[in-house]
Amino acid sequence: MEFIIAESTEDMSRRAADRIASFVEADPSCVLGLATGTTPIGLYACLVDDCAQGKISFADVTTFNLDEYRGLDPEHDQSYRYFMKKHLFDHVDIDQARTHVPEGSNPDAEAVCAAYEQAIEEAGGIDLQLLGLGPNGHIGFNEPEDTFPKATHCVDLTESTIQANSRLFDRVEDVPRQAYTMGIGTIMAARSVLVVVEGSHKAEIVKKAFFGPVTPEVPASILQFHPDATVIVDPAAGALCK
Ligand code: F6R
């Protein structure tokens, strides 16, 4: 695992965007795993700029997002499909038919999850998976548990995640209680993994996840065993790891 403390939050975003851009440059038809959340917004803005300047093209890229709320339509402004369109897909030359987000509007969890795993397999697997880190160590919506969930599945969100996400909804009651998420096995099967983390509120969990014991109680800790994982944090998130 490579652990990098960037010079600033902007530097974290630029470095992460450069990693993604060099993947796409090396293999224009690569398969990217993408994340939502506050942290990747800056790096998506960098990729949008790179694309506008003709430095990078997503024309042949395929993408799979980590997760989606169960029960939200893709048009809902808090759905992860909406987020991806707003921050990336609508501003680059990607073929939207090649972008995949679990089908949140379909309540048939078994069908949605099996179809997602199958689609990833048919695409040849994920070349580079981008991840953020939840305040409780979650990746995707894989929350602290007794075991590492393997494949894409439906999860009950923890109270802390519901509270953390409620800032984006009008009322906490509006936050969906379930989500579809890639499993830890799905994430670990990606050929490369790139994690971005920002903010002093993540400093403690960064230390635990990447320098503490590997345990399903801190789901991201499994990434210490990934053969090609890079973690880029801003100075505040890396403050306890110097
Ligand atoms: C998003 C996701 C989540 C976030 C994590 C960090 O698709 O799967 O695991 O990456 O909750 O979110 P932010 O960046 O908002 O702190």
67 is catalytic: yes
136 is catalytic: yes
Give the per-residue pLDDT at 167: 84
Confidence of residue 157 (pLDDT cuts 50, 70, 90): confident
Q: Is the CB of 66 under 6 A from ligand 1?
A: yes
19-25 CB contacts, 8 Å cutoff, 24+ apart: 19/128, 19/194, 19/230, 19/232, 20/47, 20/128, 20/130, 20/194, 21/47, 21/50, 21/55, 21/56, 23/127, 23/128, 23/192, 24/56, 24/57, 24/58, 24/61, 25/56
What value does the mean pLDDT take over residues 198-209? 98
What value does the mean pLDDT take over residues 1-16? 98
Measured between alpha carbons, how far is 10 from 181 in angstroms, rounded to an integer?
Answer: 28
138 is catalytic: yes
Give the per-residue pLDDT at 139: 97
What value does the mean pLDDT take over residues 158-167? 83
Q: Which of 12-26, 70-84, 158-172, 204-218 has the lowest mean pLDDT?
A: 158-172
pLDDT > 90 in the chain, percent: 91
Average pLDDT over the chain, rounded to whole? 96
Give the per-residue pLDDT at 202: 98
Give the per-residue pLDDT at 168: 82
The domains found in the chain, sorted by start residue, are 1-231 (3.40.50.1360)
Please name the residues in contact with 159: beta carbons below 8 A apart, sequence gap of 6 or more.
none
Give the per-residue pLDDT at 164: 79
Measured between alpha carbons, how far is 149 from 180 in angstroms, rounded to an integer?
Answer: 12
Q: Is the CB of 157 under 6 A from ligand 1?
A: no
Measured between alpha carbons, how far is 88 from 83 in angstroms, rounded to an integer?
Answer: 8
Q: Is the CB of 140 under 6 A from ligand 1?
A: yes
Give the per-residue pLDDT at 163: 87
Q: Which of 120-124, 170-174, 209-213 has the lowest mean pLDDT?
A: 170-174
